[in-house]
Amino acid sequence: MSVRILALVGSLRAGSHNRQLAEAAVKLAPAGAEVVLYEGLADIPFYNEDVDVEGGVPAAAAQLREAAQGADAFLLFSPEYNGTMPAVLKNAIDWLSRPYGAGAISGKPVAVIGTAFGQYGGVWAQDEARKAAGIAGGKVVEDIKLSIPGSVTRFAETHPVDDAEVAAQLTEVVTQLQAQAA
């Protein structure tokens, strides 16, 4: 049985190092695990209970929920914006948390990792994402952590998949998440 891990990236920038990290996770997934990079977070409107009604859910939000329903686990990639997670990632978590108690993220393993320019690699943002995912009903795997500092210089000329240390760490992250979902 293959474990399907849905990757959500909190940065919309084309050259995002967190997106590159997610791309590396897709390539480095061990046998029996499939990491799927979700496209389309930019198209999802901010969560609003007034439109989250049967027949009224925006298509982009419905597509996210459908992709999440088919996932066995989630791997969130978060940069740090002003000391916390980006709004696009929080918004995705909000949509996945509904309907209350039965959202697409409920009971499924969630790991949060990422990279940022600062010396701590975005740990504050990642902690906030873990908190939000847990409150949303996800089974946050606290033991899985990877915060890579100095992204602007570390990945200036090297894609994360070509950085041996990062590739090994990322493979271990996906392997651990796979084990949680199996």
pLDDT digits (tens, 9 = 90+) for 85-139: 999 999 999 999 999 889 999 999 999 999 999 999 999 999 999 999 999 999 9
- Compute the Cα dihedral for 137, 143, 146, 149 and give only its sign: positive
Whether 24 has a pLDDT exceeding 90, the answer reads yes
> What percent of the chain stands above pLDDT 90?
96
Burial of 60 (0-12, 13-18, 19+ CB in 10 A): middle
Side chain identity at 92, as an amino acid letter? A
pTM recorded for the entire structure: 0.97
Whether 48 has a pLDDT exceeding 90, the answer reads yes
Model pLDDT for residues 160-182, shown as the tens digit of each residue: 999 999 999 999 999 999 999 98
Domain chopping of the chain, boundaries: 3-181
The CATH architecture one would assign to domain 3-181 is 3-Layer(aba) Sandwich (3.40)
Chain center to CA of 3:
16
Q: Give the pLDDT of residue 100.
A: 86
Whether 1 has a pLDDT exceeding 80, the answer reads no
Average model confidence (pLDDT) across the chain: 96
Q: Give the pLDDT of residue 104.
A: 96
Per the CB < 8 A criterion, the answer to whether 130 and 99 are in contact is no
Q: What secondary structure letter does DSSP report for 43?
A: G
> What percent of the chain stands above pLDDT 70?
99
Record the tokens describing residue 64, joined without a space. 């996210």
Per the CB < 8 A criterion, the answer to whether 96 and 147 are in contact is no
Closest among 126, 118, 112 to 153, alpha carbons compared: 118
Per the CB < 8 A criterion, the answer to whether 178 and 9 are in contact is no
Q: Give the pLDDT of residue 101.
A: 84
**In 3-state terms, the chain is what percent helix, strand and coil (to 5)?**
40, 15, 45
